[in-house]
Structure 1
Amino acid sequence: MDNPRLPFLAEKAHKLPLLPGVYIMKNKAGDIIYIGKAKALKNRVSSYFRAVEKHLPKVYQMVSHVYDFDYIVTDSEFEALVLECSMIKLHTPKYNILLKDDKGYSYIKIAPREFSRIRQTFQRDDDDAEYIGPYISSFVVSETVDEVNRAFMLPTCNRKFPQEFGKGRPCLNFHIKRCMGVCRGKISKAEYDEIIEQAREYIKGGSAQSIELLNRRMAEYAESMQFEKAAQLRDRIRAISRINESQKVVFTSVANQDVIALQRSDSDTCAVVLKFRGERLVDKQDFLLGAVDDLDAARLEFLLRYYTTRQDIPKKIQLDGGIEDIEIASRLLSEQAGTKVEVRIPQRGEQLKLVEMAKKNAAERLSQKSQRTGREVAALDELARLLGLEKPPVYIESYDISNIGSETVVAGMVVFENGRPLRKCYRKFNIKTVAGTDDYASMSEVLQRRFQRYLDPEQQDEAFDRLPDLILLDGGKGHVSTIVPMLAQMGIHVPVFGMVKDDKHRTRAIARTGGEIAISSHRSAFTLVSTIQDEVHRYSISFSRAKHQKSSFELSLTQCPGIGKTRAAEIYKQFKTAKAIREASSEQLAQVKGVSMPAARKLYEFLHGED
């Protein structure tokens, strides 16, 4: 790092007291660039100026700009927390979490004037359309538009009415009763306008008010003997009720609460807040926080930053994981809200499902940025948490030993990058130094050869020129206990775990040197690890079978007069497969090193004798 002030800063930090307080980092111009709180100022501030190269990019960048720092000692951790929050709110330092989401305003658009459609839009155009809004939450608008189109069976296709009446068959939505089938031309403009008006009232008044209004109209139609119209409204009321029933996931037994979850990728972190008011999900907000090294610390910082800039603090906040000093955070939020605020980490039931929903939304947001699926992002993040890794493992190598008898012991290496197979970096190994079928020794040989290639500055193989973030061995803690010290002696420091199978050859647990980690209850991580284990087993067993077939065929060639083991090996080396050898002519066989023309003719006759 090119910060010449590091020795001075480290010495100054070493003189700080072991007391709670707030520290203020400043750049050369005197601007405040970061504010933090600490239980013990000396320990926390000193950590910034030790082992600087190991900091995450964001912290590394901040430290490179620190010219000096100030500090304020407080009487307690709680006072430090309060002071930190107020100072961050006042100064908004560059390297603290700044909660800026990327949402603009959203509208519900009802257009055109004839046979209107109801859609979501992000801007008002200068046209004759009706716009309802603006809404801060695009999530709420999207859900509302989808809900109203389903409840009132409105068309969502791109056909133009009435121009395209009767042109083409109705689409699938009509047949599954998701659309009334305006395209058939059997619904008048007056009838359609009445339905649009009902949909407009539904949007503005909500489902409960809309059902009440539709019930009154249905009764009026029944009293005036207009039974067909009454039946249509009855069906519409039932449709709205069915939607409310099918969307239980956006309802909760807790009247007002927020649900917060964080997900990490290799280069970013996303925080999602689901806001429930009146027992219903009314908003979703997401924030990109950059790379973080401590998820629990980031969760606490996000929690405090988010609510110190807002007045609407619910009585209950559900989190997806632990935070340091949860009681102190609850106390601070309670004082700010003027009422008791409970911060919880649900372990089961409805609230845990809502936390999982928030995590899924955070993973999907990261996937948009990284061009990966939300499932892949979630799986890598969950695996990192499960194994205690500092960040999600982007580059994973997995190894398996396979044999068909002691003569064909081989190994396979497969690579997964960002949760997907990277087949160009798959590699095969023949076991060279181990006699018999010793899996531990064979695995040790393979890993030693692989990392010797990595340490060799002249090697040119792209599969060996980088360190993996994680190594998964097909085996239990015995394999791990064998490999970890061997790699340490080579100076290779990569997390190593085993993949343990049950008696039905399915992934059961993750092995480490001290025991096993249950994995079946962690769905995303379980699926990823099972996929990796199945893939490395398939790859290694395929290689083992191919080698066994080759050995058997080479042995059969030696039964031909004039063909010994050396000649058989040369023949197979040149033609690669048994099929190619059988299809070769005498002249082609004679071109193999060490095979004379007479020997080639005898071999040809030997291979085609039955023909």
Structure 2
Amino acid sequence: MHITEEHNPRLPYLRDKTSKLTTSPGVYIMKDKSGKIIYIGKAKNLHNRVNSYFRKGQDHLPKVWKMVSNVNDYEFIVTDSEFEALVLECSLIKMHTPKYNILLKDDKGYSYIRVTDEPYPRIQAVLQKSDDSAEYIGPYTSSFTVKQAVEEANRVFRLPTCTKIFPRDIKKQRPCLNYHIKRCMGVCTGEFSEEEYRSIVSQAVDYIKNGSSSSVERLTEEMERAAENLEFELAARLRDRITAIQKAAESQKVIDETIPDCDIIAISQSADIACASVIMYRGGRLTDKADYFLGDRSEPAAMMEEFVLSFYAMKDDAPKTIILEEDPTDILMLEQYLREKYDHAVHVSVPKRGHLLRLSTMAKNNANAFISVRVGRTGREVAGLDELARALGMEKPPRFIECYDISNLASTDMVAGMVVFENGRPCRKNYRKFSIKTVFEQNDYACMTEVIERRFAEYKKGTDDGFAQLPDLILLDGGNGHVNTIRPVLERLGISVPLYGLVKDDRHRTRAIATGSGEISLLKSRAAFALVTQIQDEVHRVAISYQRSKRRKTAFSLELTSVRGVGEKKAQKLMREFKTKEALKKASAEELRAVAGISADTAAELKKIIDEMS
């Protein structure tokens, strides 16, 4: 978005002031009409950075555009280095809390793990302690981690989570589905004594408190002791419990002693807003999770750096390892700042593979799920758009995607389909179908050119609501040839929209995205791959169903012209008027005569032919 003097009359003054600004590093302080500070930033080169806000024709993301439109004046402080500017920036932001900087509030409550005091205790996640005789483990600052730990313990030790009360309901009803799928030990069957059940609950609590390795060691000792005492059934149960813990440890991320103390941070952005998720591991355990809305979306690297600085400004300490899902603007300077703030080494990394990548993916999924609630989309849809934007190098996830496909049978009944996806979902009211009018021999490139020209001619007219919205991304069902054919067409029409092709493999499945000069693989971007495949399958369905429909109408029209006195134009009149074969069959000879403008004898003959049609 461009900023003009209509939006901010102070732009000439601000540009003149910035033209004389030093090229030294420092901090700039933006103020509104009342003199209130609305944004603070750092710069390696003050002149270049501040000038980027006010120069003519500069594109801005929505958040920056709003800030610049409210700037009345600015101050600056020169520093000896960019690092000094970073330290000063953090200090000033904390002091003034400007409106357009990322500001975070740490106002969460606490959660607990509750072990009920009853003959057959249950392990539950609760938001507060009650004045009862139950055992409480905690507090934890994240309800998410508490729920995760409780679900994991109940699953591994197959503890009941139903509403039955024991021992009252033992042998009263048949076991539920959880018992049959081995998610519950089946206390209701009467196979477990109160003493044995309490022992299992004690093992589950130990698992929650101390982790899987400690639990396996203790259970192994108990299993060996039971075997020595010839208690083979008990030993077998303990063996199965050890196996369940080990299996859970291979895949679960709540308790894992191999994970160092670290924070994992990921940011998710929709077309309009952004949020961040932080997952915290301490002592090999997932101890906390925090989610923050960051307001309007921004440039990813700058947003990541600003969020990290704001997040740790609230913290008295930081782990020695911080894992980011997105590269910040300057990772080395970030490490230096955190090291000096906390007086110990802090390693910041962006993993590309392995175990740590799995953790950053988990943080990203949490951020996607968190933002999906706000935008009314699923986490998978948010992830698909975000991954697609990154793969294509787009500044933001596309809100409106248009996709086109050509369908024909040799050189007859040539048609095209256009589908629209809004925020990752089909927007069927904006689908359109095209009958090719200017191409008479099979030529997909020429057909696609006609369709694109007609579509954007309608956009410029502004008469069709479905064509009134300019898409954020155009996809063509075709390879580099299609892209290289249509890109000059868009340039000639003055349409500046990213354009790519969709490439299929030998089995007609989506394989890659064509850029015009090469291909972009989406095999490592699963959510984007699923979204693109859905779009390509949908546009193919629309195009081919329209082509088949038109072919049926053509065949029907040819049958009508078999009657002497009924030519192609009269057959088309009849098809336009009655639209379907069923409607034609219901029409009387007099109605056929009136529509086609034929004699009574011809109408009678035509009626006879229509009635005989299958």
> Deviation string for 1:223-265 (max 9, x for gaps)?
7776655655454444433332342686474523333222211
What amino acid is aligned across from residue 603 of structure 1 in structure 2?
L
The residue aligned with 2:507 is: 504
> Deviation string for 1:24-77 (max 9, x for gaps)?
123344433221111211121122234599533332333344332211112222
Q: d(CA) in 1 for partners of 2:149 and 2:428?
A: 44
Matched, 1:68 2:76: no
Tell me by how many angstroms 1:324 deviates. 2.4
Q: d(CA) in 2 for partners of 1:102 and 1:531?
A: 41
Contact 1:101–1:286 (Cα < 8 Å) also in 2: no
Of 542, 557, 562, 1:559 maps to 562
Contact 2:52–2:58 (Cα < 8 Å) also in 1: no
Measured at CA, do residues 530 and 4 of structure 1 come closer, stay the same or move farther in structure 2, by a change above 3 Å?
Answer: same
Measured at CA, do residues 179 and 610 of structure 1 come closer, stay the same or move farther in structure 2, by a change above 3 Å?
Answer: closer
Q: d(CA) in 2 for partners of 1:11 and 1:262?
A: 37
Q: d(CA) in 1 for partners of 2:253 and 2:209?
A: 21
> Deviation string for 1:480-504 (max 9, x for gaps)?
2333333333332221112122343
The residue aligned with 1:149 is: 154
Q: d(CA) in 1 for partners of 2:217 and 2:410?
A: 77
Matched, 1:492 2:488: no
Tell me by how many angstroms 1:146 deviates. 1.1
Tell me by how many angstroms 1:300 deviates. 1.7
User: Which segment is superposed worse, 521-530 or 372-381?
Assistant: 521-530
Tell me by how many angstroms 1:417 deviates. 1.0
Q: d(CA) in 2 for partners of 1:71 and 1:404?
A: 68
User: Which segment is superposed worse, 427-436 or 395-404?
Assistant: 427-436
The residue aligned with 2:120 is: 115
Q: d(CA) in 1 for partners of 2:59 and 2:320?
A: 40
Measured at CA, do residues 66 and 194 of structure 1 come closer, stay the same or move farther in structure 2, by a change above 3 Å?
Answer: same
Of 595, 598, 606, 2:609 maps to 606
Of 256, 261, 270, 1:265 maps to 270
Which residues in structure 2 correspond to 1:276-295 (within 5 Å)? Answer: 276-295=281-300
Which residues in structure 2 correspond to 1:524-563 (within 5 Å)? Answer: 524-563=527-566
Measured at CA, do residues 525 and 22 of structure 1 come closer, stay the same or move farther in structure 2, by a change above 3 Å?
Answer: same
User: Which segment is superposed worse, 148-157 or 385-394?
Assistant: 148-157
Tell me by how many angstroms 1:534 deviates. 1.7
Q: d(CA) in 2 for partners of 1:319 and 1:204?
A: 28
Q: d(CA) in 1 for partners of 2:332 and 2:485?
A: 44
Q: d(CA) in 2 for partners of 1:214 and 1:387?
A: 52
Matched, 1:348 2:353: yes
Contact 1:18–1:43 (Cα < 8 Å) also in 2: yes
**TM-score (norm. length: structure 1):** 0.91
User: Which segment is superposed worse, 17-26 or 379-388?
Assistant: 17-26
Measured at CA, do residues 227 and 489 of structure 1 come closer, stay the same or move farther in structure 2, by a change above 3 Å?
Answer: closer
The residue aligned with 2:484 is: 481
What amino acid is aligned across from residue 178 of structure 1 in structure 2?
R
Measured at CA, do residues 112 and 455 of structure 1 come closer, stay the same or move farther in structure 2, by a change above 3 Å?
Answer: farther
The residue aligned with 1:575 is: 578
Measured at CA, do residues 486 and 225 of structure 1 come closer, stay the same or move farther in structure 2, by a change above 3 Å?
Answer: closer
- What SS is found at the alignment partner of 2:595? coil
Contact 1:252–1:350 (Cα < 8 Å) also in 2: no
Contact 1:113–1:128 (Cα < 8 Å) also in 2: no
Tell me by how many angstroms 1:136 deviates. 1.0
Which residues in structure 2 correspond to 1:201-280 (within 5 Å)? Answer: 201-214=206-219, 232-247=237-252, 251=256, 253=258, 255-280=260-285
Q: d(CA) in 2 for partners of 1:434 and 1:219?
A: 82
Tell me by how many angstroms 1:291 deviates. 2.4
Which residues in structure 2 correspond to 1:143-542 (within 5 Å)? Answer: 143-214=148-219, 232-247=237-252, 251=256, 253=258, 255-457=260-462, 459=463, 461-542=464-545
Matched, 1:11 2:34: no
- What SS is found at the alignment partner of 2:434? strand
Tell me by how many angstroms 1:82 deviates. 2.3
Q: d(CA) in 1 for partners of 2:381 and 2:521?
A: 20
Instruction: Name structure 2 gaps, 5 residues minimum.
Output: 1-5
Measured at CA, do residues 53 and 104 of structure 1 come closer, stay the same or move farther in structure 2, by a change above 3 Å?
Answer: farther
Measured at CA, do residues 465 and 210 of structure 1 come closer, stay the same or move farther in structure 2, by a change above 3 Å?
Answer: same
Tell me by how many angstroms 1:311 deviates. 4.1
Aligned-pair identity (%)? 55
Tell me by how many angstroms 1:602 deviates. 0.8
Measured at CA, do residues 230 and 443 of structure 1 come closer, stay the same or move farther in structure 2, by a change above 3 Å?
Answer: closer
- What SS is found at the alignment partner of 1:358? helix
User: Which segment is superposed worse, 33-42 or 309-318?
Assistant: 309-318
- What SS is found at the alignment partner of 1:289? strand
Tell me by how many angstroms 1:144 deviates. 1.4
- What SS is found at the alignment partner of 1:568? helix
User: Which segment is superposed worse, 350-359 or 184-193?
Assistant: 184-193
The aligned length equals 609
Measured at CA, do residues 441 and 103 of structure 1 come closer, stay the same or move farther in structure 2, by a change above 3 Å?
Answer: farther
Q: d(CA) in 1 for partners of 2:559 and 2:544?
A: 22
- What SS is found at the alignment partner of 2:295? coil
RMSD of aligned Cα (Å): 2.9
Measured at CA, do residues 250 and 52 of structure 1 come closer, stay the same or move farther in structure 2, by a change above 3 Å?
Answer: farther
Measured at CA, do residues 558 and 219 of structure 1 come closer, stay the same or move farther in structure 2, by a change above 3 Å?
Answer: closer
> Deviation string for 1:361-414 (max 9, x for gaps)?
211111122221111111100111111111100111111122113231111110
- What SS is found at the alignment partner of 2:412? coil
User: Which segment is superposed worse, 203-212 or 501-510?
Assistant: 203-212
Measured at CA, do residues 137 and 610 of structure 1 come closer, stay the same or move farther in structure 2, by a change above 3 Å?
Answer: closer
Tell me by how many angstroms 1:215 deviates. 5.1
